[in-house]
Structure 1
Amino acid sequence: AVLDSWALGAEIAAHEGAARCVCSFVDEANDFADFYIATGGNDCAARLFLVAKGDESSAEITPVQLCESFDHQGPVLAVAPAPKAAFPDVPLGFLSASQDGVIRLLDGGGQTLRMLIGHDKGVVSLTWTEEPTPRLVSGARDGTAKVWQVSDGSVVQTLEGFQNGVSVLALPNGALATAAAGAKGQPMAVPPYVGCVVRVWTPDGTGKFTPSQEIFEHSGPVRGLCLAPQQLGFASCANDSTVVTRTFDGHPLATVRHPLSAEGFESYVLSCTSAGEHLLSGDEAGNLLVWAEENLGGAADPVQAIPHPGSIWKLAATPRGDVVSAANDGKVRVFTRRANAAMPQEAQQAFYAAAESRAKAQADAIRNAAMPNAGQIANYPKWETRAPPRGSEQTKIFNKDGRLIAASWDQISGTWVEQGEVTGISDGGVVNGVTYSHVYPIEVDGEGGVVHKLQIGYNDGENPWVAAQRFVDAHMLPQYHLNQIAEYIIQRSGSMPNMLGDPSMAPQTGAAPPGAAGGGVGHPAP
């Protein structure tokens, strides 16, 4: 039986820290089509799970971990199958790519069999082309996509002209789609948003590609690509709240929008995928939205919303028509419409309860973020000890019975007059759906004089470099900003926001690349 809506089929505690990527594939050498899920996370691990075994009548989804690898020197940001046509000597394997810029071929035991080295920065996307022979295409934060001949590890072609992370997708007609967070040397915050371009590349018959279409439909960094429902085209998702479907030659078909974040900003739609007649998209606030093919476009509402307890970094379809999500809470979840594959009702309720609890905590944090705490109140002079002002001081804040009040000095009566209770003392708050002890303003200096005003969240006791890396990842900034942002967090003491892109603020561990200062980084301020 087929369910009308998607239900939780399995929940895998896959990673310590965020689960950043996921893919699913079958074992081509097994007639019974074993069903696998490969994952990667911020814990620098790549893992492989056997999810089901047997023929199509086997419905139970029971993940079993087969292997793990810690060979990468940074978070694992992309995984992909290792097809037999490309690796005939590998019985079972998959590819993993990391912030370290290396792509690894891992076998079913987690051992590295081969490495593809060529990117200068983290690899964020992988896809396979089929003509004339299977070739791997990778997209990275160095602003390039590379076409690989995996048999000897050589780079057949480097596609350039991008800025920051590049997403790649092989299309069924033999073409290649790419999307980027920015375009090299181009401003991003003014029409036609040339920094947020989707390109279609046509194969030239030799395994290389030539550009054929440039599409300017997004106003924020493009974060992901997928095939549209029924493979009638492809879709892209971006930091501007939208998912756009189009034909294979780039003609737009429909646009759907995620709701604004809890703070009223544009949603970062981080990933999309399709399964049957449904298009699914996930955002940084933890919303997994399901869109029906027949009502895409306009003001259409999603047919289902599946809230997650953390940001959804990646979505992928499985060979059996299920959908897998990789989330910020480290869990990988399988959603199914097969009635006999859904988890018991108690597990379904626990999942939704966790998401509801997170949403409530965020709402409370937004409401209470500005309220001063007891320690802050105690630092202010007590009302009963008030004295005439010094110099030109005409307004002052006092601690009155455990509340902060604002008072103004009345020259005629010679007394302080209460003006009302004070809020807004705390610097804690919520950024993109996540609660932090502190929220600091930070600005990204873009090209053409454009300044992107953003916020960075930081928790007491947290490693500043961890918080800085999270900010770099979320806004797809060049990695050379990392030290600068971490130092800003350490030094933050109520001063004016730091201006990223200022050449005088170059990081201490290596200079910025030529032309980086003042580059178009970030996106129109959400």
Structure 2
Amino acid sequence: QPTKLCSQLASCQSRLAVSLLRQSFSLSAPMAEYHLSAQLHGHEDDVRGICICGDVGVATSSRDKTVRFWTQHPEKKREYVLSKTLVGHSSFVGPMVWAPPSDRFPEGAIVSGGMDTLVLLWNLHTGEVVGTMKGHTSQVTGLAIDDNGDIISSSMDCTLRRWRDGNAVEVWEAHKVAVQTVLKLPSGELFTGSSDSTIKLWKGRTCLHTFSGHADTVRCLAQMPGMGILSASHDGTIKLWALTGQPLLEMIGHTSLVYSVDAHSSGLIASGSEDRSVKIWKDGICVQSIEHPGCIWDAKFLDNGDVVTACSDGVVRIWTTDNNRFCSDEELATYTDIISQYTLTRKTVGGLKLMDLPGVEALQVQGNNDGQTLIVREGDNGVAYSWNSKELKWDKIGEVVDGPGDAAQGQVYDGAHYDFGKLISL
């Protein structure tokens, strides 16, 4: 049975690659940590997507309906400047793909897809739309360019479309529910990820194989050089698959939906999540978690190993391990303060918003009855006190923390529910 034998051989080769990867990591020096390098301000709403345009620049898409193209500062190499703002979509823009320079596009081109159901082709030299592809009936979710220049798009309308010279030359239902992403490998394989929690491998309009293993929507796919493909899922995990469909590694660490995943030639993996973090993975282990003031819609590696992140606060950030490209101490202090303030506004203790709690000055007011409980904000924590009517003072009970389960099942304090059982003993 040649087919079965080939499949087994491919599986063995993929597992050998994983083994070699592990050995290379174990022999390598400890990985340097990523630090903030630059912040790109310009978008007016969530940054939804990132497209690395070779060594030409970086394109970003946003809920503000624009695509923005950034190039390196001519003198300050760690900084980027806004080169062009591409205006043409009527709703928020998501996926993008870059077409390298050609006779038609000496500076390259960008293809973008939006919630407006359109696929637009942009001339980077002029910043103008030179192609509008209409046909999808719902949001465009993924884009790829084939070797012959065809554009392939995926959509929430469950279809894949192949565009040639602006016309749809192929349309087919790829999944029974929304297609969330499409990936074309240099070796020719075409993959789709869907809200049905599966990944499909295609040859033309024929599905060759269905990868099953995720428990929720497959949101993003990326190539893992020399090994297979990566998938990011709403189930909170990232998986590495052999091209034959065998799951090779599972990366667990995010605490919410994972929206993006990307890999670098060094073997490092970056993932972005609703949990406001970008995680850096090495050999399937999270080696660093980078906190942001908002959810991470996308994260991509530059060739030099730097990581670009797209955040819901409207800012594009670049992170590096090269101390020659670290941002200034002042910029880092400002960013650290933003993270601290954002965390405070979002933090809950025992089901209560930390910022809604009274300060320690509330302890200066006497209680109404013995055993009355009062929760106050002390720094970044919520602390519970009990009124001692005999000694006329508030006795500290302990710090209130969130825990598993529904906080609404706890008791009520000032109209809100909290759980007395989640106290840290003093």
TM-score of the superposition, structure 1-length normalised?
0.59
Asked if 1:348 is matched to 2:332, the reply is: yes
| Cα distance in structure 1, aligned partners of 2:234 and 2:40 | 27
Contact 2:309 2:317 in 1 (8 A): yes
Aligned to 2:279: 289
Asked if 1:134 is matched to 2:130, the reply is: no
Aligned to 2:131: 114
> Alpha-carbon deviation of 1:212?
1.2
Asked if 1:252 is matched to 2:247, the reply is: yes
| Cα distance in structure 1, aligned partners of 2:176 and 2:39 | 36
TM-score of the superposition, structure 2-length normalised?
0.73
For residues 235-287 of structure 1, give each alpha carbon's deviation from its aligned partner in whole angstroms, at most 9, with x where no partner exists. Answer: 10111110000112221110011243xxxxxx100111112221111110211
Aligned to 2:59: 38
| Cα distance in structure 1, aligned partners of 2:411 and 2:129 | 62
Aligned to 1:198: 199
Contact 2:182 2:193 in 1 (8 A): yes
Contact 2:193 2:199 in 1 (8 A): yes
CA RMSD of aligned residues (A): 3.3
> Alpha-carbon deviation of 1:61?
2.2
Structure 1 letter corresponding to 2:153:
S
Gaps of 5+ in 2: 1-29, 359-367, 369-373, 375-409, 419-426
Asked if 1:269 is matched to 2:285, the reply is: no
> Alpha-carbon deviation of 1:227?
1.4
Contact 2:179 2:192 in 1 (8 A): no
> Alpha-carbon deviation of 1:89?
4.1
For residues 164-216 of structure 1, give each alpha carbon's deviation from its aligned partner in whole angstroms, at most 9, with x where no partner exists. Answer: 242011123210111011xxxxxxxxxxxxx21111123xxxxx342111111
Aligned to 2:392: none
Aligned to 2:190: 176
Aligned to 1:88: 104
| Cα distance in structure 2, aligned partners of 1:96 and 1:138 | 10
Asked if 1:335 is matched to 2:356, the reply is: no
Contact 2:115 2:138 in 1 (8 A): yes
Contact 1:138 1:168 in 2 (8 A): yes
Structure 2 letter corresponding to 1:74:
S
Match of 2:209 among 202, 210, 213: 213
Figure out how many residues of one structure are paired with residues of the other and give that number.
343
In structure 2, the CA distance between the partners of 1:321 and 1:421, relative to structure 1 (3 Å rule), is: closer
Gaps of 5+ in 1: 27-32, 182-194, 203-207, 261-266, 375-383, 385-400, 402-419, 429-526
Contact 1:59 1:340 in 2 (8 A): no
In structure 2, the CA distance between the partners of 1:40 and 1:152, relative to structure 1 (3 Å rule), is: closer
For residues 102-158 of structure 1, give each alpha carbon's deviation from its aligned partner in whole angstroms, at most 9, with x where no partner exists. Answer: 01112234311111112111112112232xx13222111111122222x24333343
Higher fraction of strand: 2
Deviates more, 1:277-286 or 1:109-118: 109-118
Match of 1:146 among 161, 165, 168: 161
| Cα distance in structure 2, aligned partners of 1:365 and 1:67 | 44
Identical pairs, percent:
23
Aligned to 1:305: 289
Aligned to 1:241: 236
| Cα distance in structure 2, aligned partners of 1:9 and 1:372 | 34
> Alpha-carbon deviation of 1:350?
3.1
